[in-house]
């Protein structure tokens, strides 16, 4: 069985780290799929998806500080929208993650959450969830 769902996300700053684990978990628990895999996919070229620590909010702050050092806004970027750094950061981050599903729940470590990573906000965004299994 394959179930497709979509969730809406609103970001409030240019760089924004949004924990979407509970929204995804709700879709998994309502899917009727007990065992399988959940794919979470961002349909945006300036936003990514990652799994990271959920216990210390400073991890998110450090995450964006380091990415901004690695990929700063550069005057030589030619993209007319002025957000080339956001495209690069999203590509480095990746646009999807897969999480195992067991007993109708996401299988994540104690300190793990799924994060939507905004690099060009604030914006209204969409994330697609595909749950595959039985």
Q: What is the CATH number of the domain that holds 51?
A: 2.60.120.460
Residues of the domain holding 26: 2-129
Structural tokens at position 71 = 């990929």
Residue 100 covered by a domain: yes
Helix or strand run (H / E) with residue 9: strand 2-10
Total residues belonging to the chain: 134
Residue 134 covered by a domain: no
Alpha helices in 5-73 (DSSP H): 21-29, 58-70
d(CA 43, CA 41): 6
User: What pLDDT, in 10s, does the model give residues 15-53?
Assistant: 999 999 999 999 999 999 999 999 999 999 999 999 999
As for how many domains the chain has, the answer is: 1
pTM: 0.95
Residue 121 covered by a domain: yes
**Is the model's pLDDT at 83 over the cut of 90?**
no
82 pLDDT band, cuts 50/70/90, is confident
User: CB of 14 within 8 A of CB of 118?
Assistant: yes
Average pLDDT over residues 64-83: 89
């Amino acid at each position: 069985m394959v179930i497709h769902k979509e969730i809406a996300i609103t970001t409030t700053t240019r760089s924004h780290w949004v924990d979407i684990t509970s929204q995804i978990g709700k879709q998994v628990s309502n899917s009727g799929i007990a065992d399988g895999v959940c794919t979470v996919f961002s349909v945006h070229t300036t936003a990514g998806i990652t799994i990271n620590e959920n216990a210390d909010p400073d991890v998110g702050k450090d995450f964006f500080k380091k990415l901004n050092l690695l990929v700063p806004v550069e005057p030589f970027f030619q993209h007319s929208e002025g957000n080339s750094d956001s495209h690069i950061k999203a590509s480095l981050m990746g646009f999807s993650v897969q999480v195992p599903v067991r007993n109708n729940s996401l299988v994540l470590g104690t300190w793990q959450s799924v994060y939507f990573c905004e690099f060009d906000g604030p914006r209204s965004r969409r994330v697609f969830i595909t749950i595959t299994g039985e």
